[in-house]
């Protein structure tokens, strides 16, 4: 079971926590940082996250590869657009299988189309 601080991450449809953040939470560890991908406007979602944690928004990257970082005293959150037409396509394009999981923030559903959770359990 994944325990997410729901006060920090707005439960917006099309917003997913991904990668190492999910791996760490499944292992019972507190993530050093959080990675979020969104189907819609990353900057708008970042502003919501920043407001919820009294953080500030920093834009990084190139115009075609924008990464929005939200920083506060206690958290560091990277937010970008989903890479592809769906979260499943994004996950299939990730470099490491155990990082190819997503947690849908609006429903609390774990999305694991590549069997990453099983791989994590076997290590």
Closest CA to 19 of 122, 112, 106, 121: 112
Global pTM reads 0.89
Per-residue buried b or exposed e for 11-47, using 16+ beta carbons within 10 Å of the residue's own CB: ebeebbbbbbbbbebbeeeebeebbbbbbeebeebbb
Instruction: State how far the Cα of 27 lies from the Cα of 42, in Å rounded to an integer.
Output: 27
Instruction: State how far the Cα of 27 lies from the Cα of 2, in Å rounded to an integer.
Output: 9
Question: Residues 68, 91, 106, 81: is their CA dihedral positive or negative?
Answer: positive
Task: Please report which confidence band the pLDDT of residue 113 belongs to, taking 50, 70 and 90 as the band edges.
Answer: confident
Q: Whose structure tokens read 């990082």?
A: 99
Mean pLDDT of 65-70: 91
Asked whether the predicted pLDDT for residue 26 surpasses 90, the reply is no
**What pLDDT, on a 0 to 100 scale, did the predictor assign at position 5?**
65
Asked whether the predicted pLDDT for residue 35 surpasses 90, the reply is yes
Residue 75 CB neighbour total at 10 angstroms = 19
């Amino acid at each position: 079971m994944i325990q997410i601080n729901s006060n920090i991450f707005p439960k917006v449809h099309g917003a997913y926590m991904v990668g190492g953040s999910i791996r760490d939470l499944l292992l019972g560890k507190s993530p050093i940082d959080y990675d979020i991908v969104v189907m819609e406007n990353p900057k708008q979602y970042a502003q919501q996250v920043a407001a919820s944690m009294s953080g500030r928004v920093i834009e990084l990257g190139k115009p075609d590869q924008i990464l929005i970082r939200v920083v506060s005293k206690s958290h560091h959150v990277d937010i970008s657009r989903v890479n592809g037409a769906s979260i499943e396509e994004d996950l299939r394009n990730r470099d490491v299988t155990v990082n190819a999981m997503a947690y849908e923030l609006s429903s609390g559903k774990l999305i694991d189309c590549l069997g990453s959770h099983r791989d994590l359990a076997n290590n």
